[in-house]
Structure formats: structure tokens, C-alpha cells
A and B are shown apart, each in its own frame.
Chain A
């Protein structure tokens, strides 16, 4: 079992002692996380690490999830998409049912705590059932700045019943009657996705995926959706390929949405005509394989045109890789331009930066090292937990 002390070898000097001192001030207090599920990406992925770490610090940490019938999940997903700016039809009946399902969950769950941190949309309306004691925070893990008016109009009154909200970046938030704190997400350096691997493990895992390591590898790990622009990445590769003998690996999870299926079909067609393009559709729990691919890569791309925070960049930088990313979402915060990689606005721009790096291999090593240190300071779970401890102290005295 991993303990808080295990993080001493990866966290910045002094960070763990700082955490222990912070925890002394809130020892015994109860911090409850509530999310829409225990699996998948988003907050669930990091809560698997954060909750045991918090408990290890002596804080009474718990994690509850809400649920419902298929209609509830459909409406919650629709609301989430609408808050992210997509057009969705949301009927009054469906919205009433969503609120009702959370009322049922509230009756089943123990929601008493000094600080209740409710993550994302699915459990959002639980706040209706808050008691007198404790402070309630809504954690929004996506970009809600372009939310559809109707969806925001439905949820804003609920959000304003919280004591505060947390957004990953200031630009992701909307005007609210409550304070908006800014806490960036994080990666767990000791998880399967990010822990150190030996070169033999990397070779074995990458070979098992059918990818040869016989030439420089350009890698993008992202869902096969238009927002991540995997087709643009293929065009980037084609421009680079004119000058360098490289391999492109696109790894991601499939998505039942029509646009994603079409994108994946186009990628497969491109790969059929070029043996140096590999399209890997991986299951959601292929953490070790992604880890190995990122370590085997020469340069990592995250050429999103729309992005939430996009922690794939931090994951790659933690493995010492320079990242060429789109000028979108949290990528501009993670990628320090010309220091840990480049943010770009176009296919041509991405190809130019890749060629520049491939032509200057010493830059690849230097940027990779700078990226790892940048992540160590800013995007590890130890910093995330420090922020949560500070929030607990600030809000509960």
C-alpha cells in the first residue's frame, strides 16, 4: 500500500512536511467527496489517490457516489455537455427526474461533514439537502465558460446554494454569487499511468501493442474526437514525414458518438495506407500501456482545438517529454512556451515545431527535463492535496 511518505521521493523538497503540518491543523475533521461514479476519467481518477492520502494525513476522508436509472445518467450527461457549450435538448420532465434521483440519493447517503466537496454535474443538486452544519463546495472540472443559457439557468441557482465553487482555471468559470477558488487538477506520479517503468517494461508493453521502436515516435494520447483533432495530427505527421523518418502513434479510447466513429474510421483508413501510422483503440483501464507509450515517445502531441484542462500534457512532461499542444484549455498553463514545449495554432505550426525539435535533439532532452520539474512543482497530487488542505483550513477555521 502506498503511503504519504512514498511521495517524498517524487514531490518537491519540503512538500510532504508542509502537508503534514497543514494536516495537523485539521486532524479529525471530516472531508467528504461526492462524485458521479468511481470509474472513468475526470475527478474519479484522482480521487482514488486523494482520498486515501487525505486519510493517511489523519483527516477523516470519505468518498460517496450518486446514481440513478438510465434516464438520470442521460440527463446528467446532457447537462454536462450543455454546460461545456454543446447544444442539447433538455425537457422539463428529464430535469425534474434528475433532481428527484439526487433527492433519493441524498436520503441514502451520509452527507454530514466539515467540508463536503461535490464534483461535477451528476451530484450537483444534492446541495438542496444540505444540513445546517458543514461547508459545501462545488468542484467543476471542465470549462463552463461557454455554457448553454438554459442549462446554466437551471443549474446556477443550485450552484449558488454552495458556499464556494472550485474551477480548474479562472477562465473556466462563470459569474456566481459565491467565491470561486482556482485549483488546478493533478496527476498521481505513483499510479500505473505515471510510475517509473524500466526500459525493458517499456519495450515489452509497446511491442505487445504492435508498435516498433525502430524510429522516432510522435505520440498523441487522446479520445478520437474532433476536439482533440487527431486528423489534424495526421496532417502534421505528413508534413514532418517529408523531412524525417518518424512513426505516428495515436492512442485513445473509442466513443459511441457518431462524430467519433467517423473520425476513427478516417484514422484507420489513413493507417491502412501508411505502415508508420498506428491507431490504437485502448480500453479505459490501459494505464500501463499509455505510460509505456509516453515513455517510448520522442515528442508528445496534444493538438486539441477544444480542451478542458488536458492533463495528458502533464503526464507526458512528467515522463520527460517535450509537448507540442494546441492553444486550448489548460494546455497554455501546462506548456511553458519554448521551455517545456510549444503551444501552436495550426497544423503547419505544429509541424514546424516538431521539425525544429527533431533537428535539435539536445532541445528535446532539455525541454523534457524542464517539463518534469515544472510538473513536479505544479501538477502533482501532492500540490493538489495541499490546496485541498488549505481550503479545509480556510473554510472551516
Chain B
């Protein structure tokens, strides 16, 4: 594991530039209708992007739609059903959109009236542009990777574990992919790939990757 990789790993942090869209929803029917219309990047922003913005100090809802329904519409039933949709388990953003819509549709079928915002705020759909920022020295060994990962801005965890998988089509995530192909450590790569990034914080994901890498390094030393 001390061998240098033929291809170094460069950590990339990111800044999310938010853009407001013209779509908004005052009730759950409008939420359903707008969900059908908005660009895929907006679905991404309100689901996967939630993990970049979410701080552990706040209640976890899993995505912006569940948070809005819970806090502003005060429909805890739909909020609960939306919150359990794991964006990391769907194959594509269109599949995720379908899943969200079917949950809202099914919920509305059971309601005698459409729950709406009375005293809360309207839901404004947004999308984001990710500006990539290469960070720190590139890693060529697992030890260098570990050192870089421990210090890098948390947005890099998001970029390599979420953005890369969901929007850039690198399904394994960048960490696992590099460790598998450049360092030839498939077992470690598989463990990192299995980390559940859903309903947790970026710092916790960082800690889990570090724990796995430490275990691999210690095994190597032994």
C-alpha cells in the first residue's frame, strides 16, 4: 500500500451557486405539478444537494421537499413518506423524480382536500451550478490520500461522494474508483463504496472513510 499510484488523486472542493427558478408551489398539488416540470438539476439540488447544505444542528428531513411539507405545510404524513426516499438508491434523476411524484400523488389520492401553506412559506424551486475547486497537493499513495482527506474542505467529500455519483455518472464515487483502479485495492474500494451517505453529515462520511483507510493502513503495517 505504500506504492505510488500511476495516476495521482486530486481533491476537488466545490461551491454551489444557487439559481432561483420560476416554479413554485403553494400546496401539495402544485408541488406534484411543478415536480413534473422542473429541470433534473432542480430535482438534484433539492435532494442530493440537501447534504451539502444540511448541518447536523437542524432536524434531518432528507430532502428539501420533505422539509417544506413538514415545516410549512405541516403535513407530517407526507413529510415522513418523502423523507425516506433515498436519492442514492435510484438509478437516475428521472427515476428519483418519478419516485417523488408517485409518493405525492399516492398521498393526495387519500386526502379529502389538498394540504396547503397557510402560515408558512411557498416552496421556491431552485437549481445549482457547481464550481469546482482543486484543493491541496495531489495524493499518490494511500497514506497521502489519508492525510489529504483529513484536512480537505467538507465540500470535497460532497463532490467526490455525491456529485460524482449522481450527476457526473461516476457510480462508484471518486474515492472508491481511484483506490480500486490506481492503488489496486479492490476490497477497500468496495467498503468505501458501501458507505451510506444518506441521512448523515459530510463530516461523518469523512470519518467513516478515514476509519476504513486507517484500518487498511494498519493492516498493511502489521
Given contacts A14-B153, A170-B124, A170-B126, contact A181 B19 (CB under 8 A): yes
Known contacts A14-B152, A18-B133, A170-B124; A394 and B17 CB within 8 A of each other: yes
Question: In the complex the two chains form, what is the Cα distance from A122 to B146 in whole Å?
Answer: 52
How many Å lie between the Cα of A18 and that of B119 in the bound state? 39
Q: Please encode chain A, from 322 to 348, with 1 for each CB lying within 8 Å of some chain B CB and 0 for all others.
A: 000001000010001101100001000
B22's partner among A167, A175, A337 (CB-CB below 8 A) is A175
Complex interface residues of chain A between 160 and 192 (CB less than 8 A to chain B): 167, 170-171, 173, 175, 179-183
Provided the pairs A18-B13, A181-B19, A182-B18 are in contact, do residues A377 and B55 lie with their beta carbons within 8 angstroms? yes
Given contacts A14-B152, A22-B131, contact A181 B124 (CB under 8 A): no
Query: In the bound complex, how far is the Cα of B131 from the Cα of A25, in angstroms?
Result: 11
Interface residues of A in 1-54 (CB under 8 A from B): 13-15, 17-18, 21-22, 25
A15→B136 CA distance, assembly (Å): 13
Closest to A336 in B: B58
Stretch at the interface among A71-79, A203-211, A230-238, A383-391: A383-391
A164 to chain B, nearest CB (A): 9
Interface pair B57/A180, CB less than 8 Å apart? no
**Which of B15, B55, B71, B135 interacts with A17 by CB under 8 Å?**
B135
Q: Do B135 and A339 have beta carbons less than 8 Å apart?
A: no
Determine whether A373 belongs to the interface, using a CB cutoff of 8 Å to chain B: yes
Residue of B nearest to A167 (CB): B20
Q: Is B25 an interface residue (CB 8 A)?
A: no
Which residues of A lie under 8 Å from residue B131 when comparing CB positions?
A: 22, 390, 393-394
- Of the candidates B20, B122, B135, the one whose C-beta lies within 8 Å of that of A180 is B20
CA separation between A315 and B126, bound complex, in Å?
A: 27
**What residues of A have a CB within 8 angstroms of the CB of B119 in the complex?**
327, 345
Nearest opposing residue in chain B for A184, CB measure:
B18
- Contact B15–A387 (Cβ < 8 Å): yes
| A374, B17: Cβ atoms closer than 8 Å | no
Give the distance in Å from the alpha carbon of A109 to the alpha carbon of B136 in the complex: 40
A370 on interface, CB distance cutoff 8 Å: yes
**Could you say which of B13, B19, B71, B151 contacts A21, with CB atoms under 8 Å apart?**
B13
When the two chains form their complex, are residues A336 and B13 in contact, meaning their CB atoms are under 8 A apart? no
Minimum CB–CB distance for B93 against chain A, Å: 21
Distance to closest chain A CB from B196 (angstroms): 23
Is B94's beta carbon under 8 Å from chain A?
A: no
B155 an interface residue at 8 Å Cβ cutoff? yes
Q: Verify B20–A182 contact, CB threshold 8 A.
A: yes
Whether, in the assembled complex, B134 has its beta carbon less than 8 Å from a beta carbon of chain A, the answer is yes
Question: In the complex where A173-B20, A181-B18 touch, is A18 in contact with B135 (Cβ < 8 A)?
Answer: yes
Query: How far is it, in angstroms, between the C-alpha of A180 and the C-alpha of B18 when the chains are bound?
Result: 9
- Tell me, in angstroms, the Cα distance from A27 to B79 when the chains sit together: 45
CB contacts (< 8 Å) of A22 on chain B: these are 15, 131, 133
- Which one of B17, B151, B153 has the greatest number of beta carbons of chain A within 10 Å? B17
Cα of A182 to Cα of B126 in the assembled complex, Å: 9
In angstroms, how far is the closest chain A Cβ from the Cβ of B67?
A: 11
Q: Which of A17, A182, A337, A390 is B153 in contact with, Cβ under 8 Å?
A: A17
Q: Is B154 an interface residue (CB 8 A)?
A: yes
| Least CB distance, A138 to chain B, in whole angstroms | 14
Given contacts A18-B13, A179-B19, contact A339 B58 (CB under 8 A): yes
Contacts of B13 in A (CB 8 A): 14, 18, 21
Contact B20 A170 (CB under 8 A): yes
The interface residues of chain A lying within 8 Å CB-to-CB of B134 are: 21
Sample (5) of A-B pairs whose CB atoms are under 8 Å apart: A14-B152, A17-B135, A175-B22, A182-B20, A336-B58
